[in-house]
Structure 1
Amino acid sequence: MVLVKHSEHKAVDGPADYFTGNVTIDSMFQPEGDRSYSSAIVNFEASARTTWHTHPKGQTLMILSGEGRAQIEGQEIFKLEPGDVVWFPANVRHWHGAAPDQAMSHVAITGESNGKVVDWMEHVTDQDYLGKGV
């Protein structure tokens, strides 16, 4: 057993290259040994969001608080609420973040493939973020 005390991790600001708005990322654990996935708590202020991106092994989000949004390219935008669990399959282009008027926090669990957990792409435009479907 390995115990990682919460006091041992440090939240960092989400880089502007990969996020729009104010985001903090609190890495819980990284792939190590037989564990081929990582986890983080990600906090999005209102209207903050990721860029478009994919994950080589997919990603699971567990919404902790607030209200969020998520979209797979070509599909409707979905509203996310506490208790919701979202699965993005491997290599599927998507984004996620907070609602326009409310912050959101989620746990992200992401699989690793050949040392990589994410492929970041371009920013989600305001028009796409505020699109139909919610």
Structure 2
Amino acid sequence: MSTTIQTKTPTVKGPAEWFSGDVYFNAYYSGDEPSRARLNLVRFTPGARTAWHKHAVGQTLHVTEGVGYVQSRGGELIEMHPGDTVHTPAGEWHWHGATADQFMCHLALWEAPAPETGEPETTWGEKVSDAEYPSAAR
């Protein structure tokens, strides 16, 4: 095996079931066994956000531009800025997205669970409502 340039993937629009507003992403890396690492660049338009979700092995976000939010269920709202890196532990329900008046881009890094667990990488829940989103920003 030798060092290789990864195949480029097209930018795709995030599915409406997982996101409110317009979100676009590029899947930059999906590791081959034994690696289970995943890396995406995700771009959120103002006010766009994920639905509530959790990752089997946790998730790390690194903001590259704009201003955004991340919040765990029942937790404090965190405002994210370029250069901020935020980690959400395994199994913790959370959402993240842009502020109402700014775009936000982040790198999202996570791992798939071991195949023998049968657990999904990401479990998606209900959308963050318009009522929850502004109230979280206060």
Structure 1: segments with no counterpart, 5+ residues: none
SS at match of 1:52: strand
- Deviation larger for 93-102 or 29-38: 29-38
- In the TM superposition, what are the counterparts of 1:1-134 in structure 2 within 5 Å? 1-4=3-6, 8-113=8-113, 114=115, 116-132=120-136
Residue identity matched to 2:109:
I
TM-score (norm: length of structure 1): 0.93
Q: What is the alpha-carbon distance in structure 2 between the residues aligned to residue 56 and residue 4 of structure 1?
A: 25
The number of residues matched between the two structures is 132
- Provide TM-score, normalisation by structure 2: 0.90
Moved over 6 A (4+): none
Flag structure 2 segments of 5+ consecutive residues without an equivalent: none
Q: Is the 8 A contact 1:76 1:133 kept in 2?
A: no
Please tell me the residue identity of whatever aligns with 1:16.
Answer: A
Q: CA RMSD in A?
A: 1.4
Distance 2:13 2:137 in 1: 29
How many percent identity over aligned positions? 35
CA contact (8 A) 1:67 1:79 kept: yes
